[in-house]
Structure 1
Amino acid sequence: MNERNPENGLVKDRSASWAPASIAAIGFALPSYAVGVERGWITRNEAAEITLKILKFFINSVQSPDTNVTGYQGFYYHFLRMNSGTREWNCELSTIDTGLLMMGIIFSRNYFNQNNEIENEIRDIAAKLIGRLNWDFFQMPETGNHPGSISMGWTPENGLHNMGWVGYNEALFLYILAAGSEMTNVENAFEEWLKHYDWRTPYPGLSHAAFPPLFGHQFSFCFIDPKGMTDKFMRAQGIDYFENSRRATYVQRQYAIDNPYGWVGYDSLCWGISASDGPTEKYNFDDKKFLGYAGRGTSGPDLNYFDDGTIAPYAAISSIVFAPEIVLPTIKNFNEKYGKWLWKEYGYVDAFNPT
């Protein structure tokens, strides 16, 4: 509530004073207002007014191929200026971040289901925003990288990004959104996505479709129930997407127990490697090298992204729906052992590094 512009509803990417708005952050913020209602922190009418302000901003914002606007083809730029709501940092028109925004909007459409003026308007605008997404604009050419898949983005300066969303990662929900929005040849696009899955067995009994950053096993399922959800790849492996995320969670814990690089703090109650901030290189010593923000992750000892001893509490905590039996003791350990460093104004910090 404190990190949004009350005039247009835009939400910061992070709490730093310099931070622009992030459309993905807005997508996650929208359900949080409903959580506030259910917890008794704000009234339903207050949440509806905040939600409507956000939706009105997006439906009325400029859609154009120009460089200094909010969006184009129904999609939006990754980062927006907090006051004007126009493109910041020459960033890309982002499919994944627009998708997360739309998932939040779909949630709002479903939650605000009462027959009154404000909630009727929320549902009406939500339908218009979802309906004007032009997925075909982002379909990769049939020649080149990842033919037919959904491109990662577009800029007015350089056109379509040369990489598509393929292989198991956080973008699974994009193909579900596109399928529901009448994207041309969406079946072929999904086939290209599936072709790049990486099935691994890092530890006995934990075979899964690998993607090292743990958030990739969580983001789609903030909005879609993975229980019983399969496709031809998962059916061939005999599991659903819920089980895949459960196994990915256990892999991360086992990796911390084994701790192949000898980082301080890693154990059965301190784990969770995912995209996060980090110490930065100014803390390097001996053979230990540290990064700032990085897409950290692990799918076992043979597939790591930037493991520098940094733990992201959200990575473990967000897996509570998949493996509460190992997540709850981990939360307790975070609180008891590191609480005074981890718990700040808005809850847990993004990441910490005991080394």
Structure 2
Amino acid sequence: MSGMARDRSGPADGPPDEPGSDIVTTGGTGFGIMAVIVAAERGWVAREEAAARLLKIARFLLTVADSYHGLYGHYLHGATGRTIHLLSRKDDGADLVETAFLMQGLLCARQYFDRDEPAERELRQIIGWLWAEAEWDWHTRGGLNVLYWHWSPTSGWSMNHEIRGWNECLIAYVLAAAAPRHAIDPEVYHRGWAQAREFINRRRYYGLELPLGPDYGGPLFFAHYSFLGLDPRGLADRYADYWRQNVNHTLINHRHCARNPHGWKGYGPRCWGLTASDSEGGYVDHSPTDDRGVITPTAALSSFPYAPQLAMGALRHFYHDRGEDIWGEYGFVDAFSPHTGWRARSYLAIDQGPIVVMIENHRTGLLWRLFMSCPEVRTGLRRLGFTSPHLDGD
């Protein structure tokens, strides 16, 4: 088996998946790798056990899993490594964003497992190969000034999904600029990512200015996925201060739930958090502009760095007040509706992983330090025009 993270555990209330199936997720595996690092650091698992698990994943990616110009699909079969196209028949090839989430985790592992021991040496070596072989520049479609999300060996660029901001995909541009062999020109970032209808915002919502993104900020995973490793503290470029962006996005989301303009039962200052998750009607990108009365615990809990008191209030409410109703084998269920009484029976890798990682970043900054210690990452950030305390003195 692959060692990678299953897409979900428990009956599916969202995308078409079979409970207990062997579908693993590329991006969720990146988040899981970072959670394993936390587990090793805190002594929940032995360092040797953690290194062995991550080495298993790395070997699988290198020798078994389907790859396309060094990039991976969104979903893989955990035993065979074959790409599974769940979301579209054309989505049978590379997914640049999912690969970026995976690589974010792999680079953190390379930095953490730094001892001169056989398993750790091999792990670093394989991650180095995977990192070097990823052809980020291939996803410019021959030199266009934007990255494309998908490429298929059967239908090429037919999905035609440009990656433009603002959303969860900043990490793809940072890694593409940082790549040791297949880096993009910085103009791809400035003319592709930053030239979008919903990039610059600078309007006020609930009394807070939002530098970037759609009205009210969108789902909260925009403030999480790219920033599991990328440290937003003091991070800025010509477009935004990213700490301010993420803090204000979080506070807008909280104020929306606390003020509860739709009158949903159960919402309040301690019951908040709108982001993508399962719902009664399938998988939904919940946000203040698409508020269906569904609270997703990862939204508040992965926001500990940005609003620690508000996140702690939510944690205590979820655990002490709602307790076993939303707590299960793998922690908090994916989502619940205090208005209707519905609760998901599922746990999603892309929702569970960020909780562990962002709580640790709030406590110690561990994953931020690891990722930002990568020389290539610092080079990529400088190439794109970012400033950060991590770049001082280089």
**What is the TM-score with the length of structure 1 in the denominator?**
0.85
State the match for 2:334 in structure 1.
Answer: 350
Q: Is the 8 A contact 1:309 1:353 kept in 2?
A: yes
- CA distance in 1 between partners of 2:155 and 2:291 (Å): 33
- Tell me by how many angstroms 1:29 deviates: 1.3
- CA distance in 2 between partners of 1:260 and 1:141 (Å): 47
- CA distance in 2 between partners of 1:47 and 1:138 (Å): 33
Q: Which amino acid aligns with 1:312?
A: T
- CA distance in 2 between partners of 1:334 and 1:105 (Å): 32
- Of 51, 74, 80, which residue of structure 2 is paired with 1:78? 74
When the two chains are superposed, the root-mean-square deviation of aligned CA atoms in Å is 1.6
State the match for 2:260 in structure 1.
Answer: 259
- Tell me by how many angstroms 1:10 deviates: 2.4
State the match for 1:271 in structure 2.
Answer: 272
Q: Is the 8 A contact 2:64 2:80 kept in 1?
A: no
Q: Is the 8 A contact 1:140 1:148 kept in 2?
A: no
State the match for 1:4 in structure 2.
Answer: none
- Tell me by how many angstroms 1:190 deviates: 3.3
Count of residues in correspondence between the two structures = 316
- CA distance in 2 between partners of 1:141 and 1:132 (Å): 17
- Tell me by how many angstroms 1:206 deviates: 3.4
- CA distance in 1 between partners of 2:250 and 2:319 (Å): 20
Task: Indicate the structure whose relative CO is greater, using CA pairs within 8 Å and at least 6 residues apart.
Answer: 2
Pair 1:140–1:268, CA change in 2 (3 A): farther
- Tell me by how many angstroms 1:19 deviates: 5.1
Pair 1:116–1:72, CA change in 2 (3 A): same
- Of 161, 182, 200, which residue of structure 2 is paired with 1:163? 161
- CA distance in 1 between partners of 2:332 and 2:326 (Å): 5
Gap runs ≥5 in structure 1 = 1-6, 63-69, 235-239, 280-290, 299-303
Q: Determine if the alignment matches structure 1 residue 30 to structure 2 residue 27.
A: no
State the match for 1:285 in structure 2.
Answer: none
Q: Determine if the alignment matches structure 1 residue 307 to structure 2 residue 291.
A: yes
- Tell me by how many angstroms 1:158 deviates: 2.0
Deviates more, 1:259-268 or 1:307-316: 259-268
Report SS of the residue matched to 1:25: helix
Equivalence map 1:8-157=2 (5 Å): 8-15=2-9, 16-18=19-21, 20-61=23-64, 70-89=66-85, 90=89, 91-92=91-92, 93-140=94-141, 148-157=145-154
State the match for 1:330 in structure 2.
Answer: 314
Equivalence map 1:276-287=2 (5 Å): 276-279=277-280
Q: Is the 8 A contact 2:149 2:163 kept in 1?
A: yes
Q: Is the 8 A contact 2:224 2:302 kept in 1?
A: yes
Please give the per-residue CA displacement for 1:43-102, whole angstroms capped at 9, x wherever unaligned: 11111111111111111136xxxxxxx111000111111211111134342111111111
State the match for 1:340 in structure 2.
Answer: 324
Q: Is the 8 A contact 1:175 1:190 kept in 2?
A: no
Q: Determine if the alignment matches structure 1 residue 227 to structure 2 residue 227.
A: no
- Tell me by how many angstroms 1:261 deviates: 1.7
- Tell me by how many angstroms 1:220 deviates: 1.0
- Of 211, 218, 226, which residue of structure 2 is paired with 1:212? 218
**What is the TM-score with the length of structure 2 in the denominator?**
0.77
Q: Is the 8 A contact 1:95 1:151 kept in 2?
A: yes
- CA distance in 2 between partners of 1:243 and 1:208 (Å): 8
- Tell me by how many angstroms 1:164 deviates: 1.2
- Tell me by how many angstroms 1:141 deviates: 6.4
State the match for 1:297 in structure 2.
Answer: 287
State the match for 2:185 in structure 1.
Answer: 185
Q: Which amino acid aligns with 1:188?
A: V
Please give the per-residue CA displacement for 1:278-301, whole angstroms capped at 9, x wherever unaligned: 01xxxxxxxxxxx21111223xxx
Pair 1:205–1:231, CA change in 2 (3 A): same
Please give the per-residue CA displacement for 1:196-231, whole angstroms capped at 9, x wherever unaligned: 214131122333313401001111111111111111
Pair 1:346–1:244, CA change in 2 (3 A): same
- CA distance in 2 between partners of 1:19 and 1:54 (Å): 15
- Tell me by how many angstroms 1:352 deviates: 0.3
- Tell me by how many angstroms 1:39 deviates: 2.1
- CA distance in 2 between partners of 1:243 and 1:184 (Å): 27
Gap runs ≥5 in structure 2 = 10-18, 340-394
Please give the per-residue CA displacement for 1:150-184, whole angstroms capped at 9, x wherever unaligned: 11111223212312111111111111101111423
- CA distance in 1 between partners of 2:248 and 2:277 (Å): 21
- CA distance in 1 between partners of 2:31 and 2:314 (Å): 24
Pair 1:111–1:349, CA change in 2 (3 A): same
Pair 1:215–1:184, CA change in 2 (3 A): closer
- CA distance in 1 between partners of 2:2 and 2:277 (Å): 28
Please give the per-residue CA displacement for 1:100-131, whole angstroms capped at 9, x wherever unaligned: 11111101100000011111111111111000
Larger Rg: 1
